[in-house]
Chains A and B, each alone.
Chain A
Amino acid sequence: MPLTNRGHEILGRLPTARPRTSSGIGCEIVRHEELCVGCGTCAKNCPSGASRRGDTFDVWQLLDAPAGSRRGALGAALRRIARREPAGPIEVPPRVTVYRTIVYDAELCLGCGTCARNCPADAIEALAPKLSMTGDATPTLPTTGGGAATSSATPNAAAPTLAGAASGEVTP
């Protein structure tokens, strides 16, 4: 969510502070599933519940997990006794909370980019919101109804005014 003026003022007084949620909305979230290790950091930090732990688990995430982690140790142990490749995802009992494949629901996603900032595997990218270059070149603040200038461009042009913040940095 965009910070209020008072929020920016407070943030300016605290140089090391970071807002809990992003200052921009509308980034295009690109997930690289082949890099995801399923750690759940995105699910933990997602403000809208778009990234969350699902009901199934892909065993390949264990077998491909990097060494040095708990998943890597479990995957290496599983590899030693494996007789064949896992056919598909397995159901996870309700009390097993960690070993779940992350599901991503684009309908709920705000495009805040928090998941991309926190992802330890760099499996998520937050691309800048697409702005119309044909319309008014100077973006307006969202509080003044900024949708008018770029209404013809993109579907997620509702909050494109902090496009410089798309990489997740705070722009006061």
Chain B
Amino acid sequence: MTAERSNHDRTTAEPSGSTHVTGDRSIVAFCCRECAYAAADASANARTSLPPSVRLVLVPCTGRVSPLHLVTALAEGADGVMVAGCLLGQCHYREGNFNAVDRVAFVQRLLESVGVEPERCRMFTMSAGEPPKFVAAVKEMDRVIGALPPLQRHDTSMSEDAGDAAEPAKAAVRTRAATPAKAAAATRGAA
């Protein structure tokens, strides 16, 4: 794993057609061990350059990737997440990538519902013998993310003291009916 990682980290070539500096964004790619990671490995061995924004995460199967992984990656600093798995119907574990397709679709709807561009989370499928397809997918993702406005993140302390309207983005999402629910629970617990 270290060899191709270091190869990818050395690549500094600018992807063609990109007008942004690629160093200021990061894309997390969850790669299936059977297909996409093997394709990434082969592309590194062929000395193909990847956009430097991409970080590869090896997973045994894309069915392991949960919405929590994808959204947490976005919240912790990634500008885009991509899930790269096997061709549909060719999953090593039979149907892991079908699960991943639906989870990615779910995360896209989740992002859309809170006002974030759903293009920040995408699913790609490829076989192990298609390194160019992997490189094309990463470059496509890098191009799409580079065209989007930067993703703003609020403080981690999105807690009860949302009353201060100093930060409007933070106050935009407040807790829904927190106090009546807790009061109801307290009264019912006492009864």
Contact = CB atoms under 8 A, between A and B. Distances in A.
Dominant SS among interface residues on chain A: loop
B185 A81 contact: no
A69 to B, nearest CB: 11
Given A63-B173, A90-B109, A77 B181 contact: no
A107 to B, nearest CB: 26
A81 B176 CA distance: 18
A94 interface: yes
B169 interface: yes
A83 B172 contact: yes
Contacts of A18: none
Contacts of B32: none
A96 interface: yes
Contact of A95 (B72, B98, B151): B98
A82 B72 contact: no
Nearest to A78: B71
Given A80-B156, A95-B99, A73 B116 contact: no
Given A81-B153, A84-B173, A93-B106, A122 B116 contact: no
Given A74-B67, A83-B114, A83-B115, A122 B173 contact: no
Among B113, B151, B177, B178, which residue has the most Cβ atoms of chain A within 10 A?
B113
Given A60-B176, A122-B189, A79 B154 contact: yes
B116 A95 contact: no
Dominant SS among interface residues on chain B: helix
A59 B158 contact: no
Interface residues of B, number: 42
A93 B102 contact: yes
Contacts of A82: 114-116, 154, 172-173
B68 A70 contact: yes
Contact of B175 (A64, A86, A87): A64
Interface in B141-182: 151-156, 158, 169, 172-173, 175-178, 180-181
A32 interface: yes
A34 interface: yes
A90 B173 contact: no
Interface in A51-106: 59-60, 62-64, 70, 73-74, 76-88, 90-96, 99
B110 interface: yes
28 contacts: A32-B185, A34-B180, A35-B185, A59-B110, A63-B176, A74-B67, A74-B68, A78-B114, A81-B111, A81-B154, A82-B116, A82-B172, A83-B114, A83-B172, A84-B115, A85-B114, A87-B113, A88-B113, A90-B109, A90-B113, A92-B106, A92-B109, A93-B102, A93-B103, A95-B103, A96-B106, A99-B106, A122-B189
